[in-house]
Structure 1
Amino acid sequence: MKKYLIAGLLVWLPLAVTIWVLHAALGLLDGVFGFVVTTSQAMLPESAHMPLESLRRIPGLGVLVMLSGLLLTGVFATNIVGQWSLRKGAWALRRIPIVKSIYSSVKQVSDTLFSSSGNAFREAVLVQYPRQGLWTIAFVTGRPGGEAGQYLQDDYLSLYVPTTPNPTSGFFLMVRRVEVIELKMSVDEALKYIISMGVVAPPPGSAVLTPAPIRN
């Protein structure tokens, strides 16, 4: 009985998690669409409220509209006129107190994570954490900058140590380059290894067993 239960779990668990993630993403898009509809109702006369409310009840319309909006925004942002407009809009937002702090921080992080030229996770490395003798996988995000970089005179790396099985939370460390071991496994392979809690291991022999120079 136990063997059959585990076999059934192995079949349904990946499918259930996939459906849950997709449902959460679609729910987020629907929520944004609902917010847009509600805002439009507040700005338009009451005669337009009912037609807008009927749009909210159409299944899947919110997802379709938001995806279309993202696509059109991307097309607009990749041409000369769009880039100029976005620069002017960002300049205006950075002149608004409080808003400028939030907008600048979020934009800097999103540009690093999602931009095609970004390098949020450059490569995977081994580092001793949270104490000597215990090893974990971390991702190189760059080198310490600003005031922290001025105090750390040696050759340091900025590392992100993700938690298991949820890699979206973790710890930020600044570690000497000589104290980390470079891995040949890709970032995707490292993420799978972390999320699976070590069950889904990369191919054998992919790691470098001695400290190696890491690209800047």
Structure 2
Amino acid sequence: MRPFKRYFVTGLLIWVPLVITIWVLTLLIDTLESVVPEFLSSQALFGLRIPGFRIVFVLLVLFGTGLLAANYLGRAVVDRWELLLGRIPLVRSIYNSVKQVSDTVLAPDGQAFREAVLVQYPRAGSWTIAFLTGAPGGEVARMLQGDFVSVYVPTTPNPTSGFFLMMPRGDVHKLDMTVDAALKYIVSMGVVAPAEPAALPVASGKPDGPDGAPPQAGA
């Protein structure tokens, strides 16, 4: 039974990532295709079903919209459209919230989700990986005393849900790892450990670490 178990586990290790990858891609494709109405499908336009037609259509619409919004006339049309949506009570709240989040996360020069950090959560002495999302602002920033940053603590194995925290900057420790490596570490529940960074020459003397710094290996 031992060889059978070994071969079975080996087969799982090969097929499980492949099946999950195909499932995620299928879900993404189905979601994009559902955006295109039926009267714009290849069946309605050309009388035959063309695989991937709706995906190409969505990509062309996105590219065309970006191209249109890049000039003055297109920007004016977009501004008028957003002004119209901003006058509809329920739509205004949803649209403005989603737009602010997307503008912050997807901005090329933005800092949201660009850096992985280490924080103590849910209690002192317990450490988890989080992502820096910015800094508190408005009334919240006026109520907080000191220098605070905003972080997102994802859950595992599903990082799309999590917790939004505002923590003192001194309690947030930057990690020398990419966001992709941090996400793999979170999704795998700590099984896929990130590669260690290249060792740097240690200066003479023992530097004083900040209060609440994470424990060092070999300490």
Distance of aligned partners of 1:53 and 1:76 in 2 relative to their CA distance in 1, 3 Å threshold: closer
Q: Residue 9 of structure 2 aligns to a residue in which SS? A: helix
Q: Residue 145 of structure 2 aligns to a residue in which SS? A: coil
Distance of aligned partners of 1:25 and 1:210 in 2 relative to their CA distance in 1, 3 Å threshold: farther
The structure 2 residue matched to 1:185, chosen from 174, 177, 184, is 177
The structure 2 residue matched to 1:172, chosen from 164, 170, 191, is 164
Alignment of 1:31-110 (within 5 A): 31-33=34-36, 36-37=37-38, 52=44, 57-110=49-102
CA-to-aligned-CA distance 1:41-87 (integer Å, 9 cap, x gap)? xxxxxxxxxx7387685433222222221222222222332222212
Distance of aligned partners of 1:100 and 1:206 in 2 relative to their CA distance in 1, 3 Å threshold: farther
Mapped partners of 2:210, 2:70: distance in 1:
41
Mapped partners of 1:80, 1:204: distance in 2:
48
Q: Residue 130 of structure 2 aligns to a residue in which SS? A: strand
The farther-off stretch of 188-197 and 132-141 is: 188-197
1:139 paired with 2:131, answer yes
Mapped partners of 2:176, 2:209: distance in 1:
12
Question: Which structure has more helix as a fraction of its residues?
Answer: 1
Give, in angstroms, the shift of residue 168 of structure 1: 0.8
The structure 2 residue matched to 1:2, chosen from 5, 13, 20, is 5
Q: TM-score, normalised by structure 1?
A: 0.82
Corresponding residue of 1:14: 17
Amino acid at match of 1:155: D
Asked if structure 2 preserves the Cα contact closer than 8 Å seen for 1:126 and 1:138, the reply is yes
Amino acid at match of 2:38: V
Asked if structure 2 preserves the Cα contact closer than 8 Å seen for 1:159 and 1:175, the reply is yes
Distance of aligned partners of 1:176 and 1:81 in 2 relative to their CA distance in 1, 3 Å threshold: same
The farther-off stretch of 78-87 and 17-26 is: 78-87
Amino acid at match of 1:17: I
Percent identity over the alignment is 54
Distance of aligned partners of 1:206 and 1:90 in 2 relative to their CA distance in 1, 3 Å threshold: farther
The structure 2 residue matched to 1:113, chosen from 93, 96, 105, is 105
Distance of aligned partners of 1:199 and 1:211 in 2 relative to their CA distance in 1, 3 Å threshold: farther
Mapped partners of 1:206, 1:126: distance in 2:
19
Mapped partners of 1:63, 1:170: distance in 2:
30
Corresponding residue of 2:148: 156
Q: What is the RMSD of the two structures over their aligned residues, measured on CA atoms? A: 2.6
Unaligned segments of structure 2, at least 5 residues: 200-207, 212-219
| Number of residues of Structure 1 aligned to a counterpart in Structure 2 | 199
Q: Residue 129 of structure 2 aligns to a residue in which SS? A: strand
Mapped partners of 2:134, 2:62: distance in 1:
30
